[in-house]
Amino acid sequence: MSLLEVRGVTKAFDRTPVLQGVDLDVPSGALAAVLGPSGCGKTTLLRVIAGFERASGGTVTVGDRLLAGPGRHVAPERRRVAVVPQEGALFPHLSVAGNVAYGLPRSAPRRDRRVAELLELVGLQGYEQRMPAELSGGQQQRVALARALAPDPVVILLDEPFSALDAGLRASVRADVRSALHASGATAVLVTHDQEEALSTADVVAVMRDGRVVQAGTPQEIYRTPHDIDVARFVGEAVIIPATVRDGVVWTTLGALPLAGAAADGVGMAVLRPEQVILVPEADGLPARVLDTVFYGHDANVMLEVRCPGDVLMPVMCRTQGDLPRSESVGVRIVGPVTWFPKRPYDVMPAGAQDAASA
Ligand SMILES: Nc1ncnc2c1ncn2[C@@H]1O[C@H](COP(=O)(O)OP(=O)(O)OP(=O)(O)O)[C@@H](O)[C@H]1O
């Protein structure tokens, strides 16, 4: 059951609509990521949930408590909603223990015990007396999380908490924060524009665009069955090719492919993920040539030019374990079902689309 429910929330600044009817459900104890491009309204949504901004319309409910709605605006400090800001924002003159204890009432029993418990939860036991300046960026972020968890909030909001960390540190701090949140049982909302972060960290992902949540689901659902072509492009890498659906089969220049889900007959675009493009011996697949390889260490993205029937050249990306020299000849086969979207009036179909559509 959802603990946090956002229904039809709107917010305008000087008559400019920023949130245009946001719906968001976060189950109790779950970590939800709100994922969207810069400027789509993610921070504004967090600020409305925290109570720093008044919604122009809609409701925010936590459990059976209405926090914001028509004629109602519970003050931020009475919401039991905590915020971890972008760069942690620790008090520089207070020790780690001082920072964590800041949110606890002075009279709280077992104050020191609680601080120690929280530092253990975020993997910083024994750091009580350190000053923020003596901590790495990742450690500061974990102290900020401990400080936010201290008063036992019902909901915790994290605004791009890893954006200031360098790439190497980000993945490990993310994993630590994720396990600390799960161990604390808190219900959390993380705002990010980084799709990899959303997919790898969250239990539920809500994709935001132009002030609305356009799709919400598990990371697997969002990646495998995107709601539209823009979500497909935004979440993970996508190979988008013109395609026609006829009788439940997706016809493309790369061949007839199985359809994921169901669709009525029509002209449109199919979305393949690079891992669905498999390299095979030349004789066993469509002939292709390596255009370029981008090496990431753990794997590489290889840009290929596939020679399709009718001599149509189709650029396609695949993922490999190793490097492939430029101009190398390979064979290509597509595996697994593909998502398909009907053509919208404003979609520009790539060259060769009509050939594919009528293939
Ligand atoms: N207090 C404000 N007054 C006027 N406009 C605002 C205010 N706060 C935000 N906006 C505008 O609302 C839009 C959404 O901003 P918001 O910060 O919510 O986006 P975001 O998705 O979090 O972006 P980013 O990822 O860049 O932080 C932007 O166009 C921004 O300029």
Cα 6 to middle of ligand 1, angstroms: 19
**Spatial contact of 244 and 352, defined as CB atoms under 8 Å apart:** no
The pLDDT assigned to 288 comes to 94
Q: What pTM was estimated for this model as a whole?
A: 0.87
Cα 50 to middle of ligand 1, angstroms: 15
Q: What is the 3-state secondary structure (H, E, C) of 332-345?
A: EEECCCEEEEECCC
113 vs 233: CA distance, rounded Å: 48
**Spatial contact of 302 and 293, defined as CB atoms under 8 Å apart:** yes
The pLDDT assigned to 108 comes to 65
Beta bridge partners of 191: 34, 159
Q: Which of 274, 324, 43, 330 is nearest to 161 (CA)?
A: 43
Q: Low-confidence residues of the chain, pLDDT below 70? A: 88, 108-109, 348-359
For a substitution probing ligand 1, which of 18, 47, 160 has the most ligand atoms within 8 Å of its CB? 18
Per residue in 282-305, pLDDT (tens digit) is 889 999 999 998 888 888 889 999
The pLDDT assigned to 354 comes to 46
118 vs 148: CA distance, rounded Å: 10
Q: Whose CA is nearest to atom 30 of ligand 1?
A: 39
Cα 44 to middle of ligand 1, angstroms: 6
Q: Write b or e for each residue in 328-354: b if 16 or more Cβ atoms lie within 10 A of its Cβ, otherwise e.
A: eebbbebeebbbbbebeeebeeeebbe
CB atoms within 10 A of CB 59: 16
Q: Whose CA is nearest to atom 25 of ligand 1?
A: 38
Cα 282 to middle of ligand 1, angstroms: 51
DSSP 278-290: EEE-GGGSEEEEE
43 vs 86: CA distance, rounded Å: 10
Q: Which residues line ligand 1 (CB under 6 A)?
A: 13, 18, 36, 38-44, 193
Per residue in 163-188, pLDDT (tens digit) is 877 777 788 888 888 888 888 888 99
Please state the ipTM of this predicted complex. 0.96
37 vs 41: CA distance, rounded Å: 9
Q: Report the nearest atom of ligand 1 relative to the CA of 14.
A: 4
Q: Report the nearest atom of ligand 1 relative to the CA of 46.
A: 18
Q: Report the nearest atom of ligand 1 relative to the CA of 53.
A: 1
DSSP 122-167: TT-TT-TT--GGGS-HHHHHHHHHHHHHTT--SEEEEESTTTTS-H
Q: Which phi and psi angles does 25 have, rounded to 5°?
A: -125, 125
Cα 40 to middle of ligand 1, angstroms: 7
Q: Which phi and psi angles does 195 have, rounded to 5°?
A: -65, -35
